[in-house]
Amino acid sequence: MKTVRVWFRKTGTARFISHLDLNRCMARAIHKAKIPLWYTEGFNPHAFLTFALPLSLGISGERESMDMKLEDNALSDAELMERMNAGLPPDIRVYAVTEPVMKPGQITAASYRISLEVENMDAEQAAGRIAELFRSETLVVSKHTKSGWSDFDLAPYLGNIEVSAAKTTVEISSVLPAGSSLNINPTLLTDAVGKYLHLEFYAKIRRTCLYGESQKIFE
Amino acid sequence: MISKTIEKLLSKVQKPGRYVGGELNSVIKSKEDVEIRFAFCFPDIYEVGMSHLGMKILYSQLNTVPYIWCERVFAPWADMEEQMRRCQVPLYALESGDSLADFDIIGFTLQYELSYTNILNMLDLAGVPLKACDRHSLSRLVVAGGPCACNPEPLADFFDLFFIGEGEEVDLEVLALYREFKKKGGTKQNFLQAAAQIPGVYVPSLYTVEYREDGTIREMRPQCGAPKTVKKRLMPDLDKSYFPDRFVVPAIEIVHDRAVAEVLRGCIRGCRFCQAGFLYRPFREKSVDVINKQCFDLCENTGYDEISLSSLSTSDYSDIYGLLDKLHTWTPEQKIGVSLPSLRVDNFSTELMSKIKSVRRSGLTFAPEAGTQRLRDVINKNVTEEELLKTVNTAFAGGWTTIKLYFMIGLPTETMEDVEGIANLGQAVVDAFYSNPDKPKGRSVKVSVSTASFVPKPFTPFQWEPQDTMEMLREKQRHLVRTVKTRKIELSWHDAETSFLEAVFARGDRRLGAVLLKAWENGCKMDGWKDFFSLSKWLEQFRACGIDPEFYANRRRSPDEVLPWDHLDYGVTKSFLIEEWKRARENRTTPNCREKCSACGAACFKGGICVENR
């Protein structure tokens, strides 16, 4: 039995597939690919599929990963990739298979690119206003927690944020706490923009990378 | 591919995965390379429509033709509809993202009467004029097929053409004719007249209806050379009939999320309430090898780990053990489960049970349909209490503890005694569990009794019968609740109101088109969903149109009345249905097609059991 880490992109229409549905999609693709999964030997045998960090509905992922346990003497990485891709929707693409280095539990941060198409202001001006907003001493938004909605101050987490204007969009890139202890959904940033600047926009969000302690790239 | 405008709406709706397409095996063609663009529309939400086998068959088949691109369209849920209307996004097809209005042919499948308002809503969402007479060009031809096309009259105002019977051949013939007309720039009117000459095609605008003073039909008169009766189309040899080797695999969970093999069409049984049992005659089976190959291909190409052997009555398949054995040569090793959706009380055995159980256990459901032997004889459900008890005992001994039983209330000649019989039969199953020495130890039994309200349907021996009034149905439901004495029985029932509306439209005529239009204008849609259905709103529309719904639902017809569907021919003769109606009133059963041919008329198709038996 060996564990492999399958790296994939989830973009385009696939970003509208929920985490639960992604799980089923992957399981079906693995089944179709006849990948020799390792099953538990209990009363109700099942396979292990472990996703590094669930992705919210609507957000694309460019470097997502899923771990699976294979029987020994399994097929080559290239073959595994090819067969998986044949069973996945076109907007989910496996692009690498590696041996896991870090555990998903070690993830502490994720980087995001947010592309804002602002409707009621030109991009240059909006970028300036947004950058200024993100420099505020406090930036309180509503965050959904287990015990309901509560106020949450984003300001301490915006030290590394970059805001720039492109042709028609405002580009924001940010590294936010992620993982089991503190997870900040990037939509909180766009919520803040809507709430304080009264801008109307369409946001496209991509998760580009995951990190462990001291900014080490999740591998 | 969906456009950016559409994407922008998706952040504001529930389950956006319904609206994006991009699934494994969906067919993308280039619109420049095709001559006919066909929109296959299912008038309900994605999860429901994507579960429908007929759509999968025709979608794949049409796309095998190089000059046709068939795409899928579903009804949006209310939240998405609101966004689309607010942002003026037309209803679009999932493959190209193009508006429904850009299509040559817009085809609906008619699965249940309560989806009719959704049809109007979908056309309107794309800005397609609702009435056939307001659409003048050859493009945006609106067509339909499916079981409810057996009485399409309530929809006659809105559709240009109906396919009667099975679609595999007639669809392609009509599309080939359409291609000719499109090439030479023919008119819609000329096309429709030519199409009406193709067997199985019904063009409603070519028929005029005259009514009598009492509201019944005097005559349906064909015009412009249209045939007096339109005979359904049928695939006589299912082994040679097209079946897809792959399904579009939805990325979000749908109602029936599995591979589906069609093992047979039709039914040998002849239950007198069952429209499907008459519409799909004669009974035709695929051979074991063909089914096995189709199951194998589907699993290979989709990744599904469950196959459902689908049909009206799969355990009637003559070589069911041979089929299961054949499937078992490869399914367990590939961790694929086989399930039978419909089981009969009288041919369920330990052997069958062990074969379905070997991979994964599915629930056990049986349909005695009526509570007493007398009423089961009336409806020709040839199942006895002894058989049911023997069957559940087999199941209990095999470890099952949950049994579902389906019944109908409001069947013709039903008395309160028959209603009590439902509770008694449920009780007998519970008692059988406790007196079974081989029952699973330390577990309790649960018997789910679910009752639907009987809806008389066209092309059945009960097509002349009145439906019980809603008050009578409710009284029977209350009586059933009073009669059940144990908590081991869990009761559920369909509400009488939706069954009433279903009964109105099932046997309706063209005058209902006005009501349908008005109902849609006043916000009726998704009538099959509890969250939306409002009978009081519907009754308002009937009043406003001066139409009495009870005329359609609760009136006893005389056998010589001209029925709105009399110009359609499904093979089964009216004289046979009248004879069956008579036998029902005499509590007399009719043998099934395998035991003895009852000369229903379906032999005219020269296929299946009608030929094998001679």
pLDDT at B295 over 50: yes
Strand partners, B433: none
Q: Which of A4-13, A146-155, B59-68, B558-567 has the lowest mean pLDDT?
A: A146-155
Residue in chain A closest to B306 (alpha carbons) equals A28
A76 and A51 within one domain: yes
Q: In what order do the strands lie in the sheet with B489-493?
A: B364-369, B402-409, B446-453, B489-493
Q: Searching chain B, which residue's CA lies closest to the CA of residue A22?
A: B251
Residue B165: φ, ψ to 5°? 95, -155
Chain B residue nearest residue A23, CA to CA: B251
Point out the least confidently predicted range of B35-44, B72-81, B349-358.
B349-358
Q: What is the mean pLDDT of residues B153-182?
A: 98
Same domain, A119 and A157: yes
* CA-based end-to-end distance of chain A: 20
**What 3-state class would DSSP assign to B275?**
helix
One domain, residues A168 and A198: yes
Do A76 and A130 sit in the same domain of this protein? no
Number of structural domains chain B divides into = 1
Asked if residue B567 belongs to a domain, the reply is no
What's the confidence (pLDDT) of residue B210? 97
Distance from CA of B30 to the nearest CA of A (A): 17
The helix/strand/coil state of B579 is: helix
> Residue A24: which of B20, B253, B334 has the nearest Cβ?
B253
Signed CA dihedral, B99, B101, B102, B105: sign only = positive
CA distance B39 to chain A (A): 21
Residue B346: its pLDDT value, please? 72
The CA distance from A187 to the nearest CA of chain B, in Å, is 11
Rounded Cα distance between A112 and A187, Å, is 10
- Better-predicted residue by pLDDT, A131 or B1: A131
Per-residue confidence (pLDDT) for residue B335, from 0 to 100? 87
The reply to whether residue B303 touches residue A13, judged by beta carbons under 8 angstroms, is no
Residues A133 and A190 in one domain: yes
**B10–A14 CB contact, under 8 Å:** no
Tell me how many residue pairs between chain A and chain B have CB atoms under 8 A apart.
Answer: 61
Give the residues across from A171 on adjacent strands: A115, A164
Is residue B305 in a domain?
no
Name the one residue in this structure whose structure tokens are 């009399």.
Answer: B566
Tokens for B219, please give them: 């005559």
Per-residue model confidence (pLDDT) at position A44: 67
Chain B residues in contact with A58 by the CB 8 A cut-off are 10-11, 16
Whether A65 and A9 map to the same domain: the answer is: yes
Supply the pLDDT for residue B342: 65
Identify the three-state secondary structure at position B73: strand
Chain B nearest C-alpha distance from A108 (Å): 27
Closest chain A C-alpha to B349 CA, distance in angstroms: 26
Residue (of B262, B209, B202, B196) closest to B232 by Cα position:
B202
**Cα A5 from Cα A63, distance rounded (Å):** 12
pLDDT the model gives residue B609: 95
Minimum-distance CB partner of B22 among A24, A32, A89: A89
Confidence of residue A43 (pLDDT cuts 50, 70, 90): low
Domain boundary, last residue among A85, A100, A115: A100
Last residue of a domain, one of A100, A122, A137: A100
Q: What is the pLDDT of residue B344?
A: 72
Contact A58 B16 (CB under 8 A): yes
Look up the CATH number of the domain holding residue A67: 3.30.70.580
CA dist., res. A210 & res. A216, Å (int): 9
Residue from B2, B6, B24 to probe the interface with A (highest A Cβ count within 10 Å):
B24
Q: A28, B300: Cβ pair inside 8 Å? A: no
A150 and A91 co-located in one domain = no
Main-chain dihedrals φ then ψ at residue A104, nearest 5 degrees: -55, -30
Contact between A16 and B303 using a beta-carbon 8 Å cutoff: no
Q: Do B305 and A28 touch (CB under 8 A)?
A: yes
Which of the pair, A164 or B351, is modelled with greater confidence? A164
Closest A-chain CA to B299: A32
Q: Check pLDDT > 50 for residue B358.
A: no
A90 and A125 inside one domain:
no
Cite the DSSP H helix spans in chain A.
19-32, 77-86, 123-134, 187-197
State whether residue B57 is helix, strand or coil. helix
Name the nearest CA neighbour of B141 among B26, B21, B41, B33: B41
Three-state secondary structure call for residue B463: coil
| Domain encompassing residue A206 | 106-215
CATH of the domain at A210: 3.30.70
Band of pLDDT at residue A41, cut at 50, 70 and 90 = confident
A29 → chain B, closest CA residue: B303
Q: Which amino acid is at B194?
A: A
Smallest Cβ–Cβ distance between A13 and the set B8, B20, B253 belongs to B20
| 3-state class (DSSP) for residue B211 | strand
Task: Say what the pLDDT of residue A214 is.
Answer: 85
| Mean pLDDT value of segment A179-205 | 92
**Distance between B240 CA and the closest CA of chain A, angstroms:** 27
Going through chain A in order, the beta strands assigned E by DSSP cover 2-10, 49-51, 60-70, 92-98, 109-118, 140-145, 148-153, 162-165, 170-177, 201-211
Check B22 against A14: CB less than 8 A apart: yes
- A→B interface, C-beta within 8 Å: 12-14, 16-18, 20-21, 24-25, 28-34, 57-58, 87-91, 202-203
**Is there a contact between B24 and A89 if contact means CB atoms under 8 Å apart?**
yes
In whole angstroms, what is the distance from residue A24 CA to residue A14 CA?
13
Q: What is the pLDDT of residue B349?
A: 74
| Whole-angstrom distance, CA of residue B29 vs CA of residue B19 | 19
* Contact assignment for A17 to B17 by CB distance below 8 Å: yes
Residue B312 CB neighbour total at 10 angstroms: 19
CA B339 to chain centre: 20
Cis peptide before B282 (omega within 30 of 0): yes
- pLDDT winner (highest mean) among A111-125, B184-198, B345-359: B184-198
**What one-letter code names the amino acid at B84?**
M
Q: Which of A116, A123, A110 is nearest to A193 (CA)?
A: A116
Residues A183, A141 within the same domain: yes
Decide if B333 touches A, using CB distance below 8 A: no
Q: Are B480 and B419 in contact (CB under 8 A)?
A: yes
Residue that wins the pLDDT comparison between B206 and A180 = B206
Residues of A in contact with B303 (CB under 8 A): 28-33, 87
The closest of A219, A210, A30, A2 to A107, measured between CA atoms, is A210
Residue B116 lies in a domain: yes
Measured distance CA(B166)–CA(B600) in Å, rounded? 19
* Average pLDDT over all residues of chain B: 94
A80, A136: one domain? no
Report whether A16 contacts A80 (CB < 8 A): no
Please count the other Cβ atoms lying within 10 Å of the Cβ belonging to residue B418. Answer: 21
What confidence tier does A71 reach under pLDDT thresholds 50, 70, 90? Answer: confident
Q: How many independent structural domains does chain A possess?
A: 2
Among candidates A30, A58, A88 on the partner chain, residue whose Cβ is nearest the Cβ of B24? A88
Confidence of residue B362 (pLDDT cuts 50, 70, 90): low
Confidence band for B14, pLDDT divided at 50, 70 and 90? very high
Q: Which residue has the tokens 């794949």?
A: B60
Nearest chain A residue to B25 by CA distance is A89
Average pLDDT over all residues of chain A: 91
Determine, yes or no, domain membership for B513.
no
β-sheet bridge partners, residue B338 = B307
Contact assessment for residue B367 and residue B406, using Cβ atoms and an 8 Å cutoff:
yes
B16 touches chain A (CB under 8 A): yes
The pLDDT of residue B360 is above 60 = no
Rounded to whole angstroms, the Cα distance separating A189 from A133 reads 10
Residues 6+ apart with CB under 8 A from B120: B130, B158, B516, B517, B520
CB-based contact A172:A136 (threshold 8 Å): no
Judge whether residue A148 has pLDDT over 90: no
pLDDT value at B357 more than 70? no
The SS3 of residue B217 is strand
In a domain, B110, yes or no: yes
Least Cα separation, residue B251 to chain A (angstroms): 6
Last residue of a domain, one of A70, A100, A130: A100
Per the structure block, which two tokens stand in for B91? 């209803």
Q: What is the mean pLDDT of residues B506-525?
A: 97
Is A32 close to B20, i.e. CB distance below 8 A? no
With b for 16 or more beta-carbon neighbours within 10 A and e for fewer, the B369-379 pattern comes to bbbbbebbbbb
**What average pLDDT score do residues B471-491 get?**
95
Predicted local distance difference test score (pLDDT) of residue B63: 98
With beta carbons under 8 A apart, name residues in chain A contacting B335: 31
- Whether the per-residue pLDDT at B361 is higher than 60: the answer is no
Q: Which of B578, B459, B452, B563 lies closest to B508, judged by CA?
A: B563
Cα separations (Å) of A27 from A21, B258, B305? 10, 13, 10
B residues 219-258 near A, CB within 8 Å? Answer: 249, 251-253
Collapsing DSSP to helix, strand or coil, B547 comes out as coil
Contact between A85 and A93 under an 8 Å Cβ cutoff? The reply is yes
User: Would you say B231 and B247 are in contact if contact means Cβ atoms under 8 Å apart?
Assistant: no
Provide the residue type at B289 as one letter: D
Average pLDDT over residues B217-240: 97
Task: Tell me what percent of the residues of chain B surpass a pLDDT of 70.
Answer: 97
> Residues B67-81: what's their mean pLDDT?
98
Provide, as residue numbers in chain B, all residues whose Cβ is less than 8 Å from the Cβ of A206: none
Mean pLDDT of B71-89: 97
- Comparing alpha-carbon positions, the chain A residue that sits nearest to B252 is A21
- B315's tokens: 């355990």
| Residue B189, helix vs strand vs coil | helix
Q: What is the CATH number of the domain that holds B159?
A: 3.40.50.280
Amino acid at A51: F
Q: Are residues A16 and A31 in the same domain?
A: yes
Q: What domain range is B51 assigned to?
A: 4-231
Give the model's confidence band at A159: pLDDT under 50 very low, under 70 low, under 90 confident, else very high. confident
| B463 pLDDT above the threshold of 70 | yes
- Is B348 part of any domain? no
Mutate which of A11, A15, A16, A117 to test chain B, going by most B C-beta atoms within 10 A?
A16
Gap between the Cα atoms of A2 and B19, Å rounded:
38
Q: What amino acid occupies position B338?
A: V
Question: Average pLDDT in the A26-47 region?
Answer: 83
One-letter amino acid at A216 equals K
Residues paired with residue A70 on neighbouring β-strands, in sequence order: A2, A37
Please name the member of A14, A57, A202 whose beta carbon is closest to the beta carbon of B8. A202
- pLDDT above 70 as % of chain A: 98
Residue of B nearest to A16 (CA): B17
Residues A34, A71 within the same domain: yes
> What was the pLDDT predicted at B359?
39
